[in-house]
Chains A and B, each alone.
Chain A
Amino acid sequence: MNVAEKKPRIIQPDSLIGKRIQKMDAPEKASGRTRYIHDINLSGQLHGKILRSGRIHALIKSIDTSAAKALPGVHVVITAADIPDQRPIGVAKDHFPLKVGRVRSERDEIAAVAAESEEIAEAALKLIKVEYEDLPVIGNPEDAIKPGAPLIHPEPHGADGTHLHLKQGTSIAHKGKPDNIAMRFDYAHGDVVQGEAASDVVVEDTFKLHYVTHCCMGVSGMIAEFDASGNVLMYSNTQVPFLHKREFAEYLNIDPARIRIIQPPIGGGFGSKLDIYPFEVICLYLARAARRPVKMLFTREEEFLASPTRQPVLLTLRSGCKKDGTLTFRQVHTLHDNGAYTSWGATTPFVMMQTFSSLYRVPHCDYHTAAVYTNNPYAGSFRGYGNLQATFAIEQHMDMLAEKIGMDPLEFRIKNAQDAGEVTGQGMSFKSCGFKDCITTAATRSDFSRKFKENAANRNKPGNIRRGIGMASMLHVGGGAKIYPSDGCGTILKMDDFANVTLITGASEIGQGSETVLSQLVCEELGLPISAVTVVNNDTAITPWDVGVHASRTTFIAGNSAIGAAKKAKAKILAVAAKKYEAAESDLDLRGGFVIQAATGEAIVELSKLLRNLHFQDKAELVMTTFYYEPPSVHQDKGFKGDVSAAYAWGTQVVEVEVDTDTGFVKLVKVTGAHDVGRVLNRLGIEGQIEGGVVMGQGYAFTEDLMIENGVMKNPNFRDYKLVTAPEIPEMDIAFIESMDGEGPQGAKGVGEAPAICMAAAAANAIANATGTRMFELPFTPEKVYRALHGQTPKLYWKPWKAE
Chain B
Amino acid sequence: MTELKHYFAPTSLDQAVECLKDGDVTILAGGTDLTPQSQAGRVKIKHTLMNVRHIPQLSGITLEGREIRIGALATITEIMEHPLVKEHLPVLVEACDHFASDQIRNAGTIGGNICNASPAGDTLIPLLVLNASVELASMPEAKLYRHSMPLSTFFVGPGKTRKSLCELVTCVRIPVPAENHVARFYKHGTRPALDISTISIGVAGTLKDGVMSNVRVAFGAVAPTPVRASQTEQALEGQRLDAATIDKVAAVARDEVKPIDDVRATAWYRKEMIHNITKRILSHVAQA
Using a CB–CB cutoff of 8 Å, the interface residues on chain A facing chain B are: 118-119, 122, 301, 662-663, 665, 703, 707, 714-715, 719-720, 722, 724-728, 781-783, 786-787, 790, 792
Contact = CB atoms under 8 A, between A and B. Distances in A.
Contacts of B263: 707, 714-715, 720
Interface stretch (B184-192, B205-213, B222-230): B184-192
Contacts of A722: 190-191, 195
B272 interface: yes
Interface of B: 1, 40, 188, 190-196, 198, 263-266, 268-269, 272-273, 276-277, 280
A727 B188 contact: no
A790 B194 CA distance: 28
Binding site of B, secondary structure by majority: helix, strand, loop or mixed? loop
Contacts of A707: 263
Given A662-B280, A707-B263, A728-B192, 13 more contacts: A118-B1, A662-B276, A663-B273, A663-B276, A663-B277, A665-B190, A714-B263, A720-B263, A722-B190, A724-B191, A725-B194, A786-B272, A792-B268
B1 A783 contact: no
Contacts of B269: 782-783, 786-787
A725 B276 contact: no
B139 to A, nearest CB: 36
19 contacts: A118-B1, A122-B1, A662-B277, A662-B280, A663-B188, A663-B276, A707-B263, A714-B263, A720-B196, A722-B191, A724-B191, A725-B191, A725-B192, A727-B191, A727-B193, A728-B191, A783-B266, A783-B269, A792-B268
A119 to B, nearest CB: 5
A688 B272 CA distance: 40
Nearest to A301: B40
Contacts of B276: 662-663
Contacts of A787: 269
Contact of B196 (A719, A724, A783): A719
Given A662-B280, A707-B263, A786-B272, A725 B196 contact: no
A719 B42 CA distance: 15
B199 to A, nearest CB: 10
B190 A782 contact: yes
Contacts of B272: 786, 790
A118 B2 CA distance: 12
A719 B273 CA distance: 21
Given A663-B277, A714-B263, A787-B269, A119 B1 contact: yes
A665 B195 CA distance: 14
Contact of A783 (B40, B193, B265, B280): B265
A715 B262 CA distance: 11
A781 B1 contact: no
A189 B191 CA distance: 45
A629 B198 CA distance: 54
A786 B194 CA distance: 22
Contacts of A122: 1
Those 5 A-B pairs whose CB atoms lie nearest each other, nearest first: A662-B276, A783-B269, A727-B192, A720-B263, A714-B263
A703 B192 CA distance: 12
B97 to A, nearest CB: 12
A782 B193 CA distance: 15
B243 to A, nearest CB: 13
B27 to A, nearest CB: 22
Contacts of A727: 191-193
Contacts of A719: 196
Nearest to B1: A119
B190 A725 contact: no
Contacts of A662: 276-277, 280
Contacts of B194: 725
A120 to B, nearest CB: 10
Contacts of B280: 662
Contacts of B264: 720
A118 B264 CA distance: 33
A786 B265 CA distance: 11
Contact of B190 (A714, A726, A781, A790): A781
B193 A725 contact: yes
A721 B268 CA distance: 21
Contacts of B190: 665, 703, 722, 781-782
Contacts of B191: 703, 722, 724-725, 727-728
Nearest to A300: B39
Contacts of A786: 269, 272
A213 to B, nearest CB: 16
Nearest to B196: A719
Contacts of B266: 783
Contacts of A301: 40
Contacts of B273: 663
A786 B191 CA distance: 15
A753 B193 CA distance: 28
Nearest to A119: B1
A118 B280 CA distance: 52
Contacts of A781: 190
A527 B198 CA distance: 59
A719 B40 CA distance: 13
B14 to A, nearest CB: 36
Nearest to A705: B263
A118 B194 CA distance: 30
A787 B266 CA distance: 11
A301 B266 CA distance: 25
Q: Residue among A727, A782, A792 with the most chain B CB within 10 A?
A: A782
A719 B198 CA distance: 12
B190 to A, nearest CB: 6
Which residue, of A663, A715, A722, A792, has the highest number of chain B Cβ atoms within 10 A?
A: A663
A235 to B, nearest CB: 24
Nearest to B266: A783
B273 to A, nearest CB: 6
A726 B191 CA distance: 10
A719 B194 CA distance: 8
A787 B271 CA distance: 13
A212 to B, nearest CB: 15
Nearest to A662: B276
A282 to B, nearest CB: 21
Nearest to A702: B190
Contacts of A118: 1
Contacts of A726: 193
A663 B189 CA distance: 10
Nearest to B3: A119
Contacts of A725: 191-194
A722 B198 CA distance: 13
A724 B264 CA distance: 16
B33 to A, nearest CB: 12
B233 to A, nearest CB: 23
Nearest to B194: A725
Contacts of A728: 191-192
A8 B198 CA distance: 74
Contacts of A703: 190-191
A725 B273 CA distance: 23
Contacts of B40: 301
A783 B272 CA distance: 10
Contacts of B192: 725, 727-728
Q: Which of B188, B272, B277 has the most CB of A within 10 A?
A: B272
B188 to A, nearest CB: 6
A663 B273 CA distance: 7
Contacts of A665: 190
Nearest to A784: B269
A715 B266 CA distance: 15
Contacts of A790: 272
Contacts of B193: 725-727
Contacts of B198: 782-783
B197 to A, nearest CB: 12
A781 B1 CA distance: 34
Nearest to B279: A662
Nearest to A707: B263
A725 B264 CA distance: 17
B96 to A, nearest CB: 16
